Structure 1
Amino acid sequence: MSTARPDDGPRRTSQTLSRGLSVLKSVAHLPDGGTAHQLAAATGLERTVVHRLLNTLVADGFAERTPAGAYRIGPEARALASLAGPSVIDFAQSRLQVLADKYAGTAMLCLAETDAIVAVAVAVPTNADSHLAYRRGSRHPIDRGAGAWAVRAGRPPVDGEPASVATAREQGWIIAHGEVEEGAHAVAAPVSRGGDTLDACAMFLSHRADSVQAAAPDVVVLAAEVRAHALQAG
């Protein structure tokens, strides 16, 4: 006879569903589509598992194959996104462009995955001769760099976290230099507060330290605007 406690149910999760959602998120972060090999690398799952999950997502309309054989978001996923109105990405994109043009650098909105943060919206300056080149789908390690510290600062505190994370949480932003790319300066601000919404950050990057310093207040404002939009949409 079962003796399950009343609170057992909510603690149970479906490993298959979790893996499927991980694959779907990775597909969504690759605007030009991703191969099964790329998606396996992004999720840390075996390629045979990814193939099986992709077949299910395609069959149900949440993913589709491109003519080149990659996988991208399918009609069912696009339909669900349209029900929520303007997406966070759409909301952020024009604001990122203003930031990029104002300070002549690259502005990004990044979401967290298991071991990386992924650029889901990117704006580059229209009035600068050169800038740091990033695109949607660019990945940054979760263990270093302003973006990583900011994302982790948006989560509840944990024992043993790096001092940079605590600093970012306390002041609402963090600046780093050369931690991900040599010569690059970056400032980032967490979108979430205590894990209440998107596991994300707003970020500005430049070869110039003075531009990054000057952009810091606007990056904080942008992160707050994205947070408010995400909370309202949720």
Structure 2
Amino acid sequence: MEQGRLQTLDRGLTVLRLLAESADGLKIAALAERLGVHRAIAYRIVNTLADHGMVHRLAGGRIVLGSGALLLGARAEGNLRALARPVVEALAERAGATAFLSVAQGEDGVAVLTAEPRDTFLNIHYRVGTRHPLSRGAAGIAILAGRPPQDDDPEPVRRARADGYSLTRGELQAGAVGVSSPVPLSREAYPTLECSLGVVALDGLDIDRAVAAVPAAAAELAAQLAG
């Protein structure tokens, strides 16, 4: 434990992170093992978190995130949009195309923020809430490219990881060209947040302009989120 850190708070936050990373929740014994503490200590930490609505006990004994944690997550997503908005708007102007921020939700990528350039009339209107499989489209492939390499990664993901951006044509809409880059976030600071930043336009998209602007904007947003 580093000097200046509160051990109990550190353990409580670790429990929240472990539960956020677990699709089905964890039992007290598993939490105790991962924390390296006695079950009684893990039980007290869970009780305290439950009193604040941060975790919830299911009938089978598994612990999952509670409504309090979900509320914090919703507020965090709102803060993400507020921090990202100037970056997304500036990217739209630099690339001369509709810009968007997507986040991973399960096996899908979901657009949470979009912006259109002021002086371009033939924009693709990319709606907030638009959802696509991560395996299709520039945004999803970029999110996959931001993950640690896997032996079974498809070629588009490998190429996007090597290039620093994904480039797709017509995968989600006929005539549309998309360029996206993963936002390189610290896994320690953002263990469950995966997002990409990109642009989309019709065939007239200036590819050279986009592939210069998109990775730079993704790096800028990562720096903003790092504080």
Q: Deviations over 1:123-143 (max 9, x none)?
A: 012222221111211112211
1:162 equivalent in alignment to 2:154: yes
Equivalents in 2 of 1:136, 1:185: separation in Å? 18
Q: Under a length normalisation based on structure 1, what TM-score does the superposition of the two structures give?
A: 0.62
Q: Deviations over 1:35-62 (max 9, x none)?
A: xxxxxxxxxxxxxxxxxxxxx84xx696
3-state DSSP of counterpart to 1:130: coil
Contact 1:112 1:199 in 2 (8 A): yes
Contact 1:204 1:212 in 2 (8 A): no
Q: Deviations over 1:176-217 (max 9, x none)?
A: 101111110010001136956431101100103442331111
3-state DSSP of counterpart to 2:88: helix
Equivalents in 2 of 1:210, 1:130: separation in Å? 11
Equivalents in 2 of 1:195, 1:92: separation in Å? 18
1:190 equivalent in alignment to 2:182: yes
Contact 1:112 1:200 in 2 (8 A): yes
- For residue 203 of structure 1, what is the aligned residue in structure 2? 198
- For residue 38 of structure 2, what is the aligned residue in structure 1? none
Cα root mean square deviation, aligned: 3.2
- For residue 119 of structure 1, what is the aligned residue in structure 2? 111
The letter for the 2-side match of 1:95 is: V
- For residue 135 of structure 2, what is the aligned residue in structure 1? 143
Gap runs ≥5 in structure 1: 1-8, 18-55, 63-75
3-state DSSP of counterpart to 2:206: helix
Which residues in structure 2 correspond to 1:1-234 (within 5 Å)?
Answer: 13=22, 15=24, 57=67, 77=72, 81=76, 87-192=79-184, 197=190, 198-232=193-227
Equivalents in 1 of 2:178, 2:164: separation in Å? 14
Equivalents in 1 of 2:167, 2:224: separation in Å? 24
Q: Deviations over 1:108-153 (max 9, x none)?
A: 0110111210111110122222211112111122111111111001
Contact 1:176 1:186 in 2 (8 A): yes
Gap runs ≥5 in structure 2: 1-14, 27-65
Of the two, which has the highest radius of gyration? 2
Alpha-carbon deviation of 1:11?
Answer: 7.6
Contact 2:87 2:220 in 1 (8 A): no
**Do the aligned partners of residues 158 and 61 (structure 1) sit closer, same or farther apart at CA in structure 2, a change above 3 Å counting?**
closer
**Do the aligned partners of residues 129 and 210 (structure 1) sit closer, same or farther apart at CA in structure 2, a change above 3 Å counting?**
closer
**Do the aligned partners of residues 15 and 186 (structure 1) sit closer, same or farther apart at CA in structure 2, a change above 3 Å counting?**
same
Calculate percent identity across the aligned residue pairs. Answer: 30
Equivalents in 1 of 2:164, 2:119: separation in Å? 29
Equivalents in 2 of 1:217, 1:114: separation in Å? 29
**Do the aligned partners of residues 146 and 129 (structure 1) sit closer, same or farther apart at CA in structure 2, a change above 3 Å counting?**
same
Equivalents in 2 of 1:144, 1:203: separation in Å? 14
Give the aligned length.
168
